[in-house]
Amino acid sequence: MKRKVIIIGSGPAGLTAAIYSARANLSPLVFEGIQPGGQLTITTDVENYPGFPDGVMGPDMMDKFRKQAQRFGAECLFQTVEKVDMSKKPFLVWANGEKYESESIIISTGASAKLLGLDAEKELMGNGVSACATCDGFFYKDKKVVVVGGGDSAMEEATFLTKFASEVIIIHRRDEFRASKIMVERALKNPKISIKYNSIVKNIIGTKDSGVESIEIEDIKSKTTSIFKCDGIFMAIGHIPNTKIFNNSLSLDENGYIKTMPDSTHTNIAGVFACGDVQDSIYKQAVTAAGSGCMAALDAEKWLENQ
């Protein structure tokens, strides 16, 4: 059966696109991928999504998104899209060895925060470990936090965290920064920020109940390790947009994010739309992802109508 809309990705962007396109009678098919519900399913409290004055647990919020989409007829498959052919219409999508046809595609595959790859990092994500200062900074009032990274986003996150934390320590594996001079200067001038150069985080110590208590750091020059007490650790080593399967067909920017036309979610291929973090290297918030998911559904609906 040929579909009107296939949505690839089930974070706030994809499931909002599903709610809108389902309510427009387009019977969307959503491929949820390996992280059903998206990035918010690996965090705990979400306190900045409007409509939840007492906050909400990330996984619970995403369950509500899915239920809302299904209520209007969206079909959700817990499968990962392996391949797409957008060179001719109908578009072709392969998942779980099966081929699907669709008149339009909405891509909402997100961007994954790069992590260090430590077991404790995954275990304590949302309980002292974070990949988003804007999201979680507020939880660290008068606390001592560490930021890992050396680029512009690390400087920005560290500077932002000084609004809450009593002390912010940037841990950087080299002795000079990749960040722009102005961002580094701003961070260095801030009396709450200090820097540990030539250092890498070897382990994070804590529990889900107590949160992060300390981290183990190695000085890569002297090869010595030490334990450093802190209340939280923010990973600011970049994001990878999940665009590998679209590499050869869609216009991407130099960092791999899908390019969309100004003020819309149209990509360079008519009938293919992109929303959420996969096309947004700046805001990266659930509410902006949901907002652009709504835009993608409305853009797709209008485009289909004109065909």
Residue 11 CB, nearest approach to ligand FAD (Å): 2
Q: Which residue, 290, 259, 286, is CA-closest to 274?
A: 259
- Report yes or no: 197 and 175 within 8 Å, Cβ to Cβ: yes
DSSP class of residue 126 equals T
Task: State the number of CA atoms in the 13 A half-sphere of 153 facing the CB.
Answer: 18
Alpha helices of the chain — where are they, by DSSP H? Answer: 12-23, 58-71, 119-123, 133-136, 152-161, 181-189, 286-306
184 vs 212 by CB, closer to ligand FAD: 212
- Catalytic, 85? Answer no
Q: Which residue, 32, 29, 34, is CA-closest to 12?
A: 32
Beta-carbon contacts of residue 199 (< 8 Å; ≥ 6 apart) = 171, 172, 173, 217, 218, 219, 220
> Which residue, chain included where needed, has tokens 């949160």?
211
Interacting residues with ligand FAD (CB under 6 A): 8-14, 31-36, 38-40, 42-43, 46, 48-49, 80-81, 108-110, 113, 125-126, 130-132, 135, 242, 245, 276-278, 284-287, 289
103 vs 136 by CB, closer to ligand FAD: 136
96 vs 194 by CB, closer to ligand FAD: 96
146 vs 184 by CB, closer to ligand FAD: 146
- Catalytic, 135? Answer yes
- Report yes or no: 137 and 163 within 8 Å, Cβ to Cβ: yes
Helix, strand, coil percent content, the chain, rounded in steps of 5: 30, 30, 40
Select which of 76, 136, 230, 280 is catalytic: 136
8 vs 24 by CB, closer to ligand FAD: 8
Select which of 76, 135, 230, 275 is catalytic: 135
- Catalytic, 136? Answer yes
Select which of 45, 63, 132, 152 is catalytic: 132
- Report yes or no: 204 and 181 within 8 Å, Cβ to Cβ: no
Residue 174 CB, nearest approach to ligand FAD (Å): 25
Is 130 exposed, middle or buried, given 0-12, 13-18 or 19+ CB atoms closer than 10 A?
Answer: buried
* Catalytic residue positions, numbered: 132, 135-136
